Amino acid sequence: DARVSCHRHYRSRPTHGIGRFKYLLPKEAPKKRKDRVQMKAVNVGTEHEYGDINIQMTSYDMCLVEHFAKHVHRLCNRLSIRVNESYAMPTKTNEVLFLEERGSKMQLDAVLTTHQRVVQICGLSSTFAPILLEIIQSNQPEGVDLLVKEHTEADFKMRLKSRPELEELLAQMS
């Protein structure tokens, strides 16, 4: 602060407190925990509006998946659909082994990495939903699997690290 940097305050002068500005800024909320419970939105409502919906794109090819996720995100922006979050799920690695023709040893064929990106949208109207699905499907690149489903807490918990100690203690308690 300018007030603190100079060592005399001149409190009787009209220029006292010159340079103060932090009191004008909006108050920042305290840093929230990462374990935020997601918003269970307008799931009720016979008309319009689904709640939080996850568009999950999976593929072995990371560039394709990222480009497709970017395309879907920009499409939703263009169609003024509210995008809550656009994140990546942890990468899964698979080792493919095959049995040689002559021999009983398993040989390593390849190491495949499966990448998944999620675009979370909210407030999709019931009349527009099939249209959006059509457009996303028509732009789907090769080898990218699409999964559109409602967001649940289980989906959120998949992104968090497992806590074996806590689980052990809880199991011991009950």
Q: Tell me how far, at minimum, the Cβ of 77 lies from other proteins, in Å.
A: 14
Nearer to other proteins, 14 or 130 (CB): 130
Nearer to other proteins, 83 or 89 (CB): 89
Q: Tell me how far, at minimum, the Cβ of 27 lies from other proteins, in Å.
A: 22
The two structure tokens encoding residue 90: 């942890």
> DSSP of 55-115, one letter per residue?
EEEEES-HHHHHHHHHHHHHHHHHTT-EEEEEEEEEEEEEEEEEE-SSSS-EEEEEEEEEE
- What is the binding site for other proteins (CB under 8 A)? 33-35, 45-50, 53, 59, 62, 79, 88-101, 106, 109, 111, 113, 115, 126-131, 133-135, 137, 140-150, 159-166, 169-170, 172-173
Chain centroid to Cα 29, Å, comes to 21
Nearer to other proteins, 25 or 173 (CB): 173
Residues 2, 10: contact at Cβ < 8 Å?
no
Nearer to other proteins, 16 or 113 (CB): 113
